[in-house]
Amino acid sequence: MEPKLQALKTRLTEVNDLQMAAALLQWDQSTYMPSGGAGARGRQMATLSRIAHEKFTDAAVGQLLDDLTAYEQSLPFDHDDASLIRVTRREFAKSVKIPSALISEMNQHFAQTYQVWTEARPANDFARVRPLLEKTLELSRRMAECFPGYTHIADPLIDFADAGMKANDVRRVFSELRAELVPLVKAITDQPPADDSCLRQFYPEAKQWAFGEGVIRDYGYDFQRGRQDKTHHPFMTKFGLGDIRITTRFNEDDLGDGLFSTLHESGHAMYEQGITMAYDGLPLANGTSAGVHESQSRLWENIVGRSRGFWEHYYPRLQATFPENLKSVPLDTFYRAINKVQKSLIRVDADEVTYNLHVMIRFDLELALLEGSLAIRDLPEAWHTRYASDLGVTAPDDRDGVLQDVHWYSFNIGGVFQGYTLGNILSGLYYAKALEAHPDIPAQIGRGEFGTLHNWLRENIYQHGAKYTAPELTERVTGGPLRIAPYISYLKTKYGELYGV
């Protein structure tokens, strides 16, 4: 079996190399590329993605997988080779259903749409991206149609990001969560709002940058295998397990923006940096799902980075960095400011309690678009209507309405938002498990020590990469399926104390 397995690995590594080269082009497009490069860049990324897809879906890969079946079955489920063959077989079965021409058309279209969006958003010009978005919807439907037999047309698209979940599963979890969140949001927003004026002052970018990098270094983000750059819409990307990068953005009039974005992306990056090095270049060297990935970013951003203990340690350092802003602001005021709950317009700025309501709006709109019950031309209005009914706010324009998130302007419509809320739920579930094993973790965080938590996550989640699906991983780590109780209990405890509700 050794030569067959080696042949498979060689082939998969070639595919990976092409994908990583495309990722590097994408990273460059989102950071340093002049806008004039957009046309050629879109074509180049499309070319690389098409060749990668062709190489991966080649009949020779199918043959190797068939030849390796007996070997796989002779091994335990969680053996590395068995897992590589199993995961590759699953990906292969999906990929062969998608024509290379569609992949290439989508990638070229997404690159162009992204470039137009970066100009249309500041100009508040939805009309400019509207025809492109109509094309995106058509392409997303065509992608879903490659997988006939679905219950809901979004199911195949959700499956790409969060395998094991269907539209109806997500709806059920979301409605359970909504039933808990709506009264909690009401109880909190009936109270006087927290004063967050201490965050909304002039904070020079260079100092924000240095402070944020200092924190993620302490978290355990490895700068020997990563770096941070600026972008419009922060993301993590990787070109191999030895080069896992993050991006951020700064607002000199709001301290929270850049800092929490950096903490967030570092969580994604530490997940990937923690994957077993032997998987490098192979399909196991990935986070296992959008939801699990997001559980890690939200854990480090919120559960750790917005906790009282964390700031007991870091606030004196922050005060020393920005004495003119914070010297006379007590820790308690600052802690309340970074955890201010309010019904607001922007998802990425939303607090932990209202955040999921933003996601639910997008998820429902995606389903409606794919079903055909909502047209792209009516999307801006549908957006405003849902914000008014769910959050009681109306954006003055589309810039802070339907144009605010990059997702629909750089990828499919469908399957791109549910992972955020699944991630929040999982962050609470996994963290509760980590605390069961190590009740001392909050006290350690209060001393700026993150090793125990980081090691627990590496051991239980990171190292496995994509070896287990999200449902398999959650079962292994928590002894049961995805459930909302620990996350709700985390929110109620924290915000109960903050707001006396």
Residues tagged active-site: 265
Q: Which residues contact 405 (CB under 8 A, 6 or more apart)?
A: 233, 347, 348, 362
**Any contact of residue 297 with Zn ion (CB under 5 A)?**
yes
Beta-ladder partners of 248: 230
Based on CB atoms, which residue is closest to Zn ion, 41 or 347?
347
DSSP lists the bridge partners of residue 254 as: 251
Query: What is the bridge-based pairing of β-strands 228-230 and 244-248?
Result: parallel
Q: Which is nearer to Zn ion, 26 or 297 (by Cβ)?
A: 297
**Candidates 17-25, 62-70, 291-299, 443-451 — which segment interacts with Zn ion by CB under 5 A?**
291-299
Least distance (Å) between residue 268 CB and Zn ion: 6
Contact segment (CB under 5 A) with Zn ion among 37-45, 166-174, 289-297, 366-374 equals 289-297
Distant-in-sequence, close-in-space partners of 406: CB < 8 Å, separation ≥ 6: 114, 117, 232, 233
Which is closer to Zn ion, CB of 262 or CB of 469? 262
What is the layout of strands, in order, in the sheet containing 228-230? Answer: 228-230, 244-248, 236-238
Contact 290/468 with Cβ under 8 angstroms?
Answer: no
Placement of tokens 């109806």 in the chain: 168
Number of residues that bind Zn ion (CB under 5 A): 1
> Which one, 208 or 297, has the nearer CB to Zn ion?
297
CB of 56 to Zn ion, least distance (A): 26
Find the shortest distance in angstroms from Cβ 297 to Zn ion. Answer: 4
Helix H, strand E, coil C: the string for 43-88 is HHHHHHHHHHHHHHCCHHHHHHHHHCHHHHHCCCCCCHHHHHHHHH
Q: Is 489 helix (H, G, I), strand (E, B) or coil?
A: helix
Closest distance to Zn ion from the beta carbon of 422 (Å): 12
| 96-102-105-106 Cα dihedral, nearest 10 degrees | -80
Q: Minimal distance in Å, beta carbon 133 to Zn ion? A: 22
Closest approach, Cβ 265 to Zn ion, in A, equals 7
Segment contacting Zn ion by CB under 5 A, of 164-172, 290-298, 403-411, 481-489:
290-298
Q: Which of residues 10-29 bind Zn ion (CB under 5 A)?
A: none
Could you give the CA distance from residue 213 to residue 209 in angstroms, rounded to a whole number? 6
The closest residue (CB) to Zn ion is 297
**Choice between 354 and 421, CB closer to Zn ion:** 421
Choices 107-115, 269-277, 297-305, 376-384 (CB under 5 A): range interacting with Zn ion: 297-305
| Residues binding Zn ion (CB under 5 A) | 297
